[in-house]
Amino acid sequence: MKLTTTSGNPIADNQNALTAGERGGVMLQDYQLIEKLAHQNRERIPERTVHAKGSAAYGVLEITHDISRYTKAKVLQKGEKTRLILRFSTVAGEAGAADAERDVRGFAIKFYTREGNWDLVGNNTPVFFLKDPYKFPDFIHTQKRNPRSHLRSNEAAWDFWSLSPETLHQVTILMSDRGIPASYRQMNGYGSHTYSLINEAGERFWVKFHFKTRQGIKTLTNDEAATIIAADRESHQRDLYENIEAGNFPSWDMKIQIMTDEQAKKLPYSPFDLTKVWSHADFPLIDVGVLTLNENPKNYFNEVEQAAFSPSNIVPGIGFSPDRMLQARIFSYPDAQRYRIGTHYAQLSVNRPISEVGTYTLGGAMNDGSYDVSAQAYYEPNSFGGAKEAPEFSEPALELSGEMKRYNHRELDDDYYSQPRALFGIMNEAQKQQLFSNIAQSMAGVSEFIIERALGHFEKISPEYAAGVRAALGR
């Protein structure tokens, strides 16, 4: 049976998004990509399709260092203090899932800046499983329930991972000792994607955002997590809420990595590949400021469930990049909010910017009338004093080249093993043994041929890696 669209049209390539050149952005005409992402956002009612179980708190970002050479964004100028809400979450579990499960953790921040909302939507890992958004709905299906048995499936997870070697870096992190944080306070956060910073001179710099916990990293073993879950499925929520109520405000050091466009062009791999990190030796961390959480929400539903984050929300001086996953999320996240919450979700108090809003997006459900619009200026352009475009905020042009086609991202860069190898190489013996044990436990019920395929990848990372997992599997 051939793969088709829902209208029966055959799909020639279900692996690679249509891009403008090898490192260019995705094309809006890629209908099947849009269809897959839009459909995924409508697969669950009403909880989030991913990141359903979450906790949040308000706080402040204080900029303590001068990075004005890189960006004109007011929120990132030295001395600036900006209110924010930070939502932590698990990724795969439903709204009733236990907090202490082995999973990636979401780390989504909404900054209420003077220039509009800036949302930085990331995780507690610097990389992700995928680099092409075409495979995101497929990947999430493997983390959710089998539609026949309604059970989570180790088989589906490992089948997908072993057929998609670009996942190995994130899989190694997930199965390591850092796969289960002891609390949201005791883990790092990352913007993960590559973004851009633009300074007053119109110069663009590529950037990665890091948030290093001041509470220290603390993690749980599978056995420790199982004991906690048996007694308290809301362990992370309880820890965050109670610490803030007691005045024990958690904080993180905000840092960035900077890469020039010339450096990006000389890099042996794409700097926009979400499965890879930038070397700290080549691109060292630069201090920016401190993020502190100091206030619990008053109403969980209004302020946490209805909080709507999207990487499409940026401010002057901060921009996007050709990161394929980021470009797809620019569409997918607000589309999810329109479906999950409603057309005018941005008017809800938790999502409303503190800056003035000038928009002609007025019709539709949930418009509370808070937008100040002239009865004669409900379109643009107009002659009646309505909001006008501001060309002074235009970004510098980004040079792109290459043919428009579906580039095979696995052929463009088939180095799936060097970065997981480097990560494995810095683990001590106890961490390696925990990695082996965690992988073996996660393979319970997985078919032999899938296990052998995965072991083949581990062998290419390191013979020690493969041998350790084999031993943990008892073979």
Residue carrying structure tokens 């997918």: 332
pLDDT of residue 384: 87
| Mean pLDDT (the chain, rounded) | 93
Q: Verify whether residue 123 is a known catalytic residue.
A: yes
Higher pLDDT, 88 or 35: 88
> Buried b vs exposed e over 423-438: b needs ≥16 C-beta within 10 Å?
bbeebeeeebebbbbb
Residues 153 and 397 sit within 8 Å (Cβ to Cβ): no
Question: Pairing state of beta strands 318-319 and 195-198?
Answer: antiparallel
> Buried b vs exposed e over 373-405: b needs ≥16 C-beta within 10 Å?
eeeebeeeeeeeebbeeeeeeeeeeeeeeeeee
Q: What are phi and psi of 87, to 5 degrees?
A: -110, 125
- Per-residue pLDDT, averaged over 203-224, amounts to 98
Beta-bridged to residue 289, according to DSSP, are: 63, 254
| DSSP letter for each residue of 5-56 | -TTS-B-S-SSS-EEESTTSPBPTT-HHHHHHHHHHTTSSSSS-SSS-SEEE
From 16, 41, 123, 313, the catalytic residue: 123
From 16, 41, 51, 409, the catalytic residue: 51
pLDDT in tens, 93-146: 999 999 999 999 999 999 999 999 999 999 999 999 999 999 999 999 999 999
Residue 51, Ramachandran bin (φ over 0: left; ψ between -120 and 50: alpha; else beta): left
| Closest by Cα among 188, 327, 198 to 258 | 198
CA distance 118 to 108: 11
pTM for this prediction: 0.92
- Per-residue pLDDT, averaged over 76-81, amounts to 98
Q: Verify whether residue 51 is a known catalytic residue.
A: yes
Domains with residue ranges and CATH for the chain: 18-128+181-351 (2.40.180.10)
Other C-beta atoms closer than 10 Å to the C-beta of 262 total 7
- Per-residue pLDDT, averaged over 273-302, amounts to 97
CA distance 264 to 283: 11
Which structure tokens are listed for 288?
């920016």
pLDDT of residue 410: 86
Other C-beta atoms closer than 10 Å to the C-beta of 450 total 20
